Amino acid sequence: MPESAILRFWKPFNVLTQFTDPEGRATLADYISVKGVYAAGRLDYDSEGLLILTDNARLKTRLTDPVFAHPRTYLVQVERIPDVTALQRLRDGVELNDGLTRPTQVELLLQPPELPERPVPVRVRKTVPDCWLRLTLTEGRNRQVRRMTAAVGHPTLRLVRWAVGPITLAGLEPGSWSQLNTHEAETLWKSAFKR
């Protein structure tokens, strides 16, 4: 395992996954002062959760290139309660305008996950129930989770990436980051290079 800077960061809602923005929106630079690290993957402006940042290009490639199928786990609040058919469609792969998605691990959560409130509240409709899913994907197309849930009739209301491989948000708050310790870094490297 080469000596590398590897950080885990809880990207807040409405923050760009880059260090500069000509329009003056919030970016990673507002939270992270470590030089030379870049995000291994992206999260949309309106999505929240775990970003891995590193200065190691090889690790970044192994975590993000779809050919390596490195898992990413999301907690997703959706409109209405998906039935067995909708859940199975997500598991089997959903046909999107850029092709069929890979099979996805999906779990309907019986209780909402313990997450901090979002600074901009999620739109709630009193007549439409919502629920939370846990999805694990091995590819990262543009706005993929949102497109998949919409395709099966359950638009995403809130999206939080909980894990990248074995690394999770546990112990972080929105806007906070930590350097991976030796054990965490070794675990991430092993997961990224397991085949």
- Active-site residue numbers? 44
Residues 78 and 159 occupy one common structural domain = yes
The pTM for the full model equals 0.93
Write the DSSP assignment of 36-70 as a string of letters: T-EESS---TT-EEEEEEES-HHHHHHHH-GGG--
Domain span at residue 61?
6-66+165-192
pLDDT tens profile 162-189:
999 999 999 999 999 999 999 999 999 9
- 79 with 55, same domain: the answer is no
Q: What is the CATH number of the domain that holds 54?
A: 3.30.70.580
What CATH number has the domain bearing residue 104? 3.30.70.1560
The alpha carbon of 125 is separated from its chain's Cα centroid by a whole number of angstroms, namely 25
How many domains does the chain fold into? 2
In a domain, 49, yes or no: yes
For every residue of 98-154, DSSP letters joined together read TEEPPP-EEEEESS----PPPSSPPP--TTS-EEEEEEEES---TTHHHHHHHHTT-
- pLDDT tens for each residue of 84-136: 999 999 999 999 999 899 999 999 999 999 999 998 888 777 788 999 999 99
> Looking at the domain assignment, is residue 1 inside a domain?
no
139: three-class secondary structure by DSSP: coil
